Amino acid sequence: MMRGMLAGSQTTLRNSATVTGIGVHSGSPVTLTLHPAEANTGIVFLRCGPDGQRDRELRADYRAVTATEFATVLGDDNGPAVSTTEHVLAALHALGIDNVTVEVDGPEVPIMDGSAEPFVAAIDLAGIAPLAAPRRCIKVLKPVRVGKNGSYAELRPHGRGLRIEAEIEFDHPLIGHQTFVIDVEPDSFRRELARARTFGFMRDVAKLWSAGYALGASFENTVVVAESRVLNAEGVRFSDEFVRHKAVDAIGDLALAGAPLIGAYRTVRGGHKLNHAMVTALMADRSAWDYVEMPEAGRRVRGHAEPAGGFAAPAYGPDVS
Ligand SMILES: [Zn+2]
């Protein structure tokens, strides 16, 4: 009941909630606090300045992306400010949180256990509050595709909400070819995706370390894949945890469009770079998308009528039942 009532309104958090951990790349301790924000604020990162330096505010927006190697980094004219934004953004996007300030006191969002679940738990702790403003979504109107050579992404129209179709192929006996398709809603995200962890290959570790990445990576926050087995004592959480995690990353990166997406996203052998290229290409083609308010309350968007019921049950209602 609450769900239907809230589906068309913007949301924020009822209270603040804090998580602490380390950055997977920096290895440094960091505290992240989710704060309520007013309607039409969107998702904003507040990077606290160390030792009296000024704080920096960064809208979670594809135009603020400064790097996509191994993580999605946001910054501004002064350089990168917050790294590894994707898992907290995935949790916020999937649970339908429109307005929030994400305060971090270090250069990187804490990796926690490598999944989005600790951020889901933080959102649950804070609670979700409706705001008296209609939710605005980005509706994909025609297919847009980026990539080449077997690594590509595509966004195409979809009846309602966000669908993710992820496909990976690794030349490794434990992973190989995996596909995962999901209609992203709070319940399905919690059940199918939130627990899927970051993964990495033992063979890449030395190279990553020497380049200054993955300095905080450990069995506590990464599924570590060796030649023929997973080295973590507890094994994997899903047999296809790898492709599920790619879906989590995609949801987080797609949040950088700045509003919930209504469309189907297919990513084949992709990653942060491809996700970012996809959002950039979509937003650049003004004929490929439009803003729609939710719910449409019986009115049609001119020029592209939906099949009956197309908007009847928006997928972004926060689940507070
Ligand atoms: Zn990830």
Say what the pLDDT of residue 54 is.
83
Q: Which of 87, 272, 276, 304 is catalytic?
A: 272
Say what the pLDDT of residue 188 is.
98
Q: Is the pLDDT of residue 138 over 90?
A: yes
pTM of the model: 0.89
Instruction: Please check whether residue 137 is in contact with residue 259, taking contact to mean a CB–CB distance below 8 angstroms.
Output: yes
Instruction: Please check whether residue 167 is in contact with residue 178, taking contact to mean a CB–CB distance below 8 angstroms.
Output: yes
Instruction: Please check whether residue 205 is in contact with residue 216, taking contact to mean a CB–CB distance below 8 angstroms.
Output: no
pLDDT tens-digit readout, 223-241: 999 988 999 999 999 999 9
Cα 125 to averaged position of ligand 1 atoms, centre (Å)? 23
Q: Is the pLDDT of residue 135 over 80?
A: yes
Average pLDDT, the chain: 90
pLDDT tens-digit readout, 175-211: 999 999 999 999 999 999 999 999 999 999 889 999 9
Confidence bin at 49 (pLDDT 50/70/90): confident
Say what the pLDDT of residue 263 is.
97
Confidence bin at 294 (pLDDT 50/70/90): confident
pLDDT tens-digit readout, 88-103: 999 999 999 999 999 9
* Nearest-angstrom CA–CA distance, 37 and 50: 23
Cα 256 to averaged position of ligand 1 atoms, centre (Å)? 15
- Side-chain half-sphere CA neighbours of 90 within 13 A: 35
Say what the pLDDT of residue 8 is.
86
Q: Is 172 a catalytic residue?
A: no
Say what the pLDDT of residue 5 is.
38
Tokens at 58, concatenated: 């960064």
Cα 242 to averaged position of ligand 1 atoms, centre (Å)? 10
For 247, the 3-state DSSP assignment is helix
* Nearest-angstrom CA–CA distance, 89 and 251: 8
Say what the pLDDT of residue 98 is.
97
Strand partners, 176: 170
